[in-house]
Structure 1
Amino acid sequence: MAKKQRKSKNSFFQFLNDNSIKVILGVVASSSFAIAFGQEKISQWVSLSSSTDSACLNQFYRDVPPYLMRESLKKDSYSLCFNGFNVEYSGVSKTPLWVAEALTPARLSKKIPREDSFHEEERVSAKHRATLADYRGSGYDRGHMAPNADMPTKAAQFDSFSLANMVPQAPKNNQQVWRELEEATRAIVTKQKQDVYVITGPVFAGKKLKTIGNGVIVPTAVYKAVYMPKTGAIGAYYAPNDNSLKVRIVSVCYLEEQLGINLFPQLTEEQKRNTYRLPLTAKAVKANQKIEYSNWDAESQCAEDVSKENLQALQRQFKFASSGSTSPAAGSAMDSATQDTIVKQLIDALLQYILQLLK
């Protein structure tokens, strides 16, 4: 028995001697393959991060998204990156909580003819999703938060017709008041040649809220907060969601208190208390006339500061938000399951490569 084992060992060492060059070459070559394979996989994630980083975070002033301060708002929420705008969507209200855009002269110089393409947002779970049937016969318009006329490309225009970018809006509010405010905002950009960061969304005030369809909550008001870094002008439009044609200009702090959202975490409380005389129509915007200062809001409760860690976590959600995301608050990094899969693929590739060389 001992002789048989010794013979087996000798055969094994003889095999190694005969194939030593192949073994060494196999290990070196397969190691190089593994490194290349791993780099390719990792680069896919780096590429996703960098490309989405540019497309998504650039829609926020200094790359920082609005932050939900109330825990109740975070329930069933989705961070969605679109072409030309971003959305924090609520599966509870089945509407956006806020929609963010960065408007620039270059962006608005591109005119895309309107093509309606209202559609349901498939990245949102079916139970949280607003549907076309919800709005049918409701008496409310499908009101864009990021308007179609802001969109510089066909892809962005199509995305703007997602129901994740819509709220049930009173017809006169949508077709007259809101249209004029959207035109006024664009006029600031195009006539005064300055960038404007815009956060638009619904207000849900009161304990008893109306719904349409299968639970889509009707806002009591709609808002549009704007900030112009070039001049420091800031403020917000606030319009009741009815046919009254009323609108007023308020401070960002006033809005934050109503919403439970820190709309511009990168700005100071002093900045957000300032209110400027925002134009109500495009005609009111003059090319060489700065928007006048109005008042300083000393009464409203501004949103509290958000920690750097929490803001970075939210940034990661938008960095990695993708068209394939179907779960609330999309993941922010390569998950363990993906890492395990890549490791297994590397090991299998190594073994197969060595076996081929030793044949």
Structure 2
Amino acid sequence: MLALIATGSFAIAFGSEKIAKFIPLQSSNGACLKQFYRDVPPLLAKDSLKKDSYALCFNDFNVMYSGISKTPLWSAEHLTPERLSIKIKREDNFHEETRVQQSHRALLSDYRGSGYDRGHMAPNADMNNTAAQYDSFSLANMVPQAPKNNQEVWRKLEEAVRAVVTKHHKDAYVLTGPVFEGKRLKTIGSGVIVPTAVYKAVYLPKQGIIGAYYAPNNNSQQVKVVSICYLEEKLGINLFPQLTEQQKRNVYHLPLTAQNVKANREISYAHWDGQSQCADEADNASIQAQQKQFTSGQTQAVESKFPQIDEETKQALIKQLVDALVQYFLQLLR
């Protein structure tokens, strides 16, 4: 009897914590918008950025992809302590994004021998199920990234953001993407543009903490924390249309490593950026038009090799698996 109770308890725990991560939820219009703060995506302020752009909804993150640079302009994620509490083993599966037209598509061959890493914008380590992990390896979520920038500086910043969410038990809305500055930009392969820098904008709404990391895309391992307005001026993108200019001028001491994050120590205020040019205030029509791109249905057909099911079916399958485990051990005890 004791063995049966222990077995049943293990099965239930295993079912709810482990089995669930292998059965991803079906992407829906609502789930897609939930990756954005208050369901509002970033807005492309420059018309040149809108040309050949694709609003792509993936499992657990979204991308605004550019067919001109053949990279994302940004990748968006809503990180929660619950989401990050489930970890899965990394399985590399780099692949081309078939929802993008062939002429606009980054190819696996573009990166071969280029000297640049295929750098995730929405990190693989943020994904807690196999469907989301597979999606994170889409080249629509990649930029050509200098090896030391990707493997050293950027890895540590990604770990720091996850540490803030898990140690402080607060949600975070994160936008990550490339910066293209200058008239003569380097390309690799069939025209994938190499960013001059990469950024990660972070907003913790419950704490009012905001700011962004900015790192040159080279092997210098330099990084600095800047305001959202600093980035908006460089990018031509309204990163957080829901926030006021006053909020976006604030800068906090965002941690540069996970070791800098202490559970009992709040992130302190750094300074006010009164110099940078913030993006123009967004009107409701522009916001609704951008939302529609992510809920049109065309962006929802995530081509994944993993089955997509709804929450009710997922829970039913978990219950069946748990019941089967219990029955199996009952037979062994007879």
Q: What is the aligned partner in structure 1 of residue 237 from structure 2?
A: 261
Normalising by structure 1, we get a TM-score of: 0.76
Q: What is the aligned partner in structure 2 of residue 299 from structure 1?
A: 275
Give yes or no for the alignment of 1:315 onto 2:291.
Answer: yes
Q: What is the aligned partner in structure 2 of residue 107 from structure 1?
A: 83
Q: Which runs of 5+ in 2 are unaligned?
A: 1-25, 304-334
Q: What is the aligned partner in structure 2 of residue 190 from structure 1?
A: 166
Q: What is the aligned partner in structure 2 of residue 117 from structure 1?
A: 93
8 Å Cα contact 2:209-2:252 kept in structure 1: yes
Q: How far did residue 249 of structure 1 move?
A: 0.5
Q: Structure 1 323/230 Cα, relative in aligned 2: closer, same or farther at 3 Å?
A: closer
Q: How far did residue 54 of structure 1 move?
A: 2.3
Q: How far did residue 238 of structure 1 move?
A: 0.2
Distance 2:234 2:88 in 1: 35
Q: What is the aligned partner in structure 1 of residue 330 from structure 2?
A: none
Other structure's SS at 1:243 match: coil
Q: How far did residue 324 of structure 1 move?
A: 4.0
Q: What is the aligned partner in structure 2 of residue 249 from structure 1?
A: 225
Other structure's SS at 1:310 match: helix
Other structure's SS at 1:231 match: coil
8 Å Cα contact 1:123-1:323 kept in structure 2: no
Distance 1:325 1:190 in 2: 28
Give yes or no for the alignment of 1:272 onto 2:252.
Answer: no
Distance 1:153 1:57 in 2: 19
C-alpha deviations, 1:134-183, integer Å up to 9, x for none?
00000000000000000011000000000000000000000000000000
Other structure's SS at 1:177 match: helix
Amino acid at match of 1:236: A
Distance 2:301 2:237 in 1: 27
Relative contact order, higher structure (CA 8 A, sep 6+): 2
Q: Which runs of 5+ in 1 are unaligned?
A: 1-49, 327-359
Other structure's SS at 1:176 match: helix
Amino acid at match of 2:299: S
Q: Where do residues 72-83 of structure 1 align in structure 2 (5 Å cutoff)?
A: 72-83=48-59
8 Å Cα contact 1:67-1:261 kept in structure 2: yes
Other structure's SS at 2:28 match: helix
Other structure's SS at 2:232 match: helix
Other structure's SS at 2:183 match: coil
Q: What is the aligned partner in structure 2 of residue 52 from structure 1?
A: 28
Residue number among 139, 144, 147 corresponding to 2:115 in the alignment: 139
Amino acid at match of 2:126: D
Distance 2:57 2:126 in 1: 16
Which structure shows the higher helix fraction?
A: 1
Normalising by structure 2, we get a TM-score of: 0.81
Q: How far did residue 322 of structure 1 move?
A: 3.2
Q: What is the aligned partner in structure 2 of residue 45 from structure 1?
A: none
8 Å Cα contact 2:35-2:77 kept in structure 1: yes
Q: What is the aligned partner in structure 1 of residue 137 from structure 2?
A: 161
Distance 1:253 1:288 in 2: 29
Q: Where do residues 323-342 of structure 1 align in structure 2 (5 Å cutoff)?
A: 323-324=300-301
Give yes or no for the alignment of 1:234 onto 2:205.
Answer: no
Amino acid at match of 1:234: I
8 Å Cα contact 2:27-2:300 kept in structure 1: no
Other structure's SS at 1:294 match: strand
8 Å Cα contact 1:94-1:217 kept in structure 2: yes
Q: What is the aligned partner in structure 1 of residue 67 from structure 2?
A: 91
Distance 1:112 1:162 in 2: 18
Q: How far did residue 325 of structure 1 move?
A: 8.4
Amino acid at match of 1:198: V
8 Å Cα contact 2:27-2:58 kept in structure 1: no
Give yes or no for the alignment of 1:178 onto 2:154.
Answer: yes
> What is the number of residues matched between the two proteins?
277
Bigger Rg, which one: 1
Name the % identity. Answer: 71
